């Protein structure tokens, strides 16, 4: 997958228009980045004794000097500023609860998920004596934007001074449009407000925390929409929905906009006898769709002796399906059961058709030279986490039959729609990706290439938590030899099963079952 035997595909003018400027800059600035071996896993940083000052009261705050500035221990900040910090059992992700918002971050990750939004950090998080360490901009985007604090780092005194922001009055503009059965409500602000969204009976409330808004003079036209009424007060906006409608929210920036997409829910069926009543789709993880990468004429990576990625991914996917069904009470569907060719869009469409609760796309990697090795796990983001991830996605997406022949405008619209489809699942996708990567690293002693983000098209259409996992490098002779053996493939499968088991236990609200030993 990705860098096919080290061959870098040219970036055409049309491809440049498709890529965001941030991704394009990475690709053009580092054309050989995908050929480089990744850096070794970052060891814990040594911390120093700093001071945290809030309202004139000082406490200890461990900090470390990172490559782009200071990194601060998150736990004491959460204790003082009102957040709740927790870490998953494998230590692959941490969650910070701030009011109604959940923030997910991983170790040595250059990004974090805030609610439904992925943010890029000025430098990766790190581990230290004080637990997870985060950069200053992480604090500003979380405790600052969500809870109303300002942060000033006084380097000579090693002191982080935290003050409470003054109450702001922000002008509000409200726009409502109705297109193809979906009503979109756009709340635009002069700058990012402090708020949280609450689903209430018959509508949605946007409540402002420490800020006040200045409502617009007029009211938007609502005729023919799925919105009954929009009312604005200094401390809240109430969006009342028509009967049978539901809403999902997401954020756009520059300028800051909180967007509500309102759609008609499926009509309730007429009452039927108990024996004939369809069962509601239960919560948690019930259906899993596994996607064996490539197939047919799309061979994927090919080794010197002719081993093809498409054959190994199918073997791995079939084994994973069998083990999941024998270990967990789940339904497992493969996007392909043989050497058939399937477009990238069709794979996620199948997952949607089966109403999957989890989508796993299995691939094997390839790079220039034989040194690169290890596993890496991706979840969707329109901005890649690094140049190698951006190039991997661009090359994997540049396949025939992807359905974007109708022009750049349609492709860009598809990207936006797919991004919105995944927006409500980003935190869960990141959490599951961390579990997968942690199991592969710990159980098999694989080199940690980390959890990454990239705009892989095969993930874009999925309306559920979705990851793409690279289970090794076919360009590495040692890994190629191991991947050819049923025993090693079984160990990889067992690591994936344990990750799914842990994720399912979290999603179902139950402790994970006792872990079986990998077959030998």
74-110 per-position pLDDT tens digit: 999 999 998 999 887 666 678 899 887 888 887 777 7
Q: Give the pLDDT confidence of 331-367 residue by residue, as tens digits.
A: 999 988 888 887 776 777 778 778 889 999 999 988 7
pLDDT band at residue 6, thresholds of 50, 70 and 90? very low
CATH number of 168-264: 2.60.40.3500
Q: Give the pLDDT confidence of 226-252 residue by residue, as tens digits.
A: 999 999 999 999 999 999 888 877 777
Least confident of 168-177, 200-209, 374-383: 374-383
Question: Long-range contacts of range 245-248, CB-CB < 8 Å, 24 or more positions apart?
Answer: 245/183, 247/185, 247/199, 247/203, 247/204, 248/420, 248/423, 248/424
Helices (H), 207-261: none
Give the CATH class of 4-36+283-508: alpha beta
Judge if 4-36+283-508 and 168-264 fold alike in CATH terms. Answer: no
The full set of domain ranges for the chain reads: 4-36+283-508, 48-164, 168-264
Q: Which of 131-140, 302-311, 335-344, 505-514 has the highest mean pLDDT?
A: 131-140
Task: Report which secondary-structure segment, H or E, holds 290.
Answer: strand 287-292
How many other CB atoms are found less than 10 A from the CB of residue 297?
11
The residues that bridge with 4 in the sheet, in sequence order, are none
DSSP for 35-104 reads GSPPPPPPPPBP-EEEEEEETTEEEEEEEEEETTEEEEEHHHHHHHHT-EEEE-TTSS-EEEEETTEEEE
- What pLDDT is attached to residue 266? 54
Residues 333, 16: Cα–Cα separation, whole Å: 35
| Contact criterion met (CB below 8 Å) for 302 and 475 | no
Q: Which of 19-28, 120-129, 505-514 has the highest mean pLDDT?
A: 120-129
**What is the value of pTM for the model shown?**
0.51
Residues contacting residue 356 through CB under 8 Å, at least 6 positions apart: 287, 288, 289, 333, 462, 464
Residues 396, 8: Cα–Cα separation, whole Å: 11
Least confident of 72-76, 130-134, 202-206, 261-265: 261-265
CATH topology of domain 48-164: Copper Amine Oxidase; Chain A, domain 1 (3.30.457)
């Amino acid at each position: 997958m990705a860098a096919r035997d080290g061959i870098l595909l040219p970036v055409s003018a049309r491809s440049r228009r498709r890529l965001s400027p941030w991704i394009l800059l990475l690709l053009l600035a580092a054309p050989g980045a995908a050929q480089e071996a990744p850096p070794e896993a970052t060891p814990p940083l040594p911390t120093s004794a700093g001071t945290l000052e809030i309202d004139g009261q000082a406490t200890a705050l461990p900090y470390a000097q990172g490559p782009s500035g200071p990194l601060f221990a998150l736990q004491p900040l959460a204790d003082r500023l009102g957040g709740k910090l927790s870490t998953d059992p494998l230590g692959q992700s941490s969650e910070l609860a701030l009011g109604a918002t959940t923030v997910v971050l991983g170790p040595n990750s250059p990004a974090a998920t805030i609610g439904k939004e992925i943010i890029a950090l000025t430098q990766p998080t790190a581990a230290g004596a004080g637990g997870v360490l985060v950069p200053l901009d992480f604090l500003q985007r979380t405790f600052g934007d969500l809870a109303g604090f300002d942060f000033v780092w006084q380097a000579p005194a090693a002191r982080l001074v935290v003050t409470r922001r003054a109450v702001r009055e922000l002008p509000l503009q409200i726009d409502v449009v109705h297109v193809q059965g979906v009503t979109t409500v756009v709340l635009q602000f002069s700058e990012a407000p402090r708020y949280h969204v609450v689903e209430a009976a018959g509508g949605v409330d946007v409540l402002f925390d420490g800020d006040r808004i200045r409502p617009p003079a007029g009211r938007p036209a609502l005729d023919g929409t799925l919105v009954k009424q929009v009312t604005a007060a200094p401390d809240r906006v109430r969006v009342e929905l028509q009967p049978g409608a539901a809403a999902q929210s997401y954020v756009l920036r520059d300028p800051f906009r909180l967007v509500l997409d309102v759609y008609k829910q499926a009509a309730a069926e007429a009452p039927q006898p108990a024996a004939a009543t369809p069962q509601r789709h239960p919560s948690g993880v019930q259906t899993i769709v596994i996607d064996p990468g490539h197939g047919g004429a799309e061979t994927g990576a090919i080794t010197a002796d002719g081993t093809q990625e498409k054959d190994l991914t199918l073997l791995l996917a079939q084994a994973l399906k069998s083990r999941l069904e024998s270990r967990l009470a789940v339904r497992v569907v493969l996007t392909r059961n043989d050497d058939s060719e399937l477009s990238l869009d069709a794979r996620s469409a199948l997952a949607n058709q089966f109403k999957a609760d989890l989508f796993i796309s299995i691939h094997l990697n390839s790079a220039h030279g034989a040194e690169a090795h290890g596993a890496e796990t991706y979840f969707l983001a329109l901005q890649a986490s690094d140049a190698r991830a951006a190039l991997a996605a661009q090359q994997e997406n540049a396949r025939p039959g992807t359905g974007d022949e109708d022009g750049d405008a349609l492709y860009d619209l598809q990207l936006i729609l797919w991004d919105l489809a995944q927006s409500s699942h980003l935190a869960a996708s990141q959490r599951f990706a961390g579990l997968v990567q942690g199991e592969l690293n710990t159980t098999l002693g694989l080199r940690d290439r980390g959890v990454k983000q990239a705009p892989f098209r095969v993930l874009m259409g999925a309306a559920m938590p979705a990851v793409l996992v690279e289970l090794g490098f076919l360009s590495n002779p040692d890994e190629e030899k191991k991947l050819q053996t049923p025993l090693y493939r079984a160990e990889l499968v067992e690591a994936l099963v344990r990750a799914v088991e842990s994720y399912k236990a979290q999603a179902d609200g139950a402790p994970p079952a006792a872990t079986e030993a990998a077959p030998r």
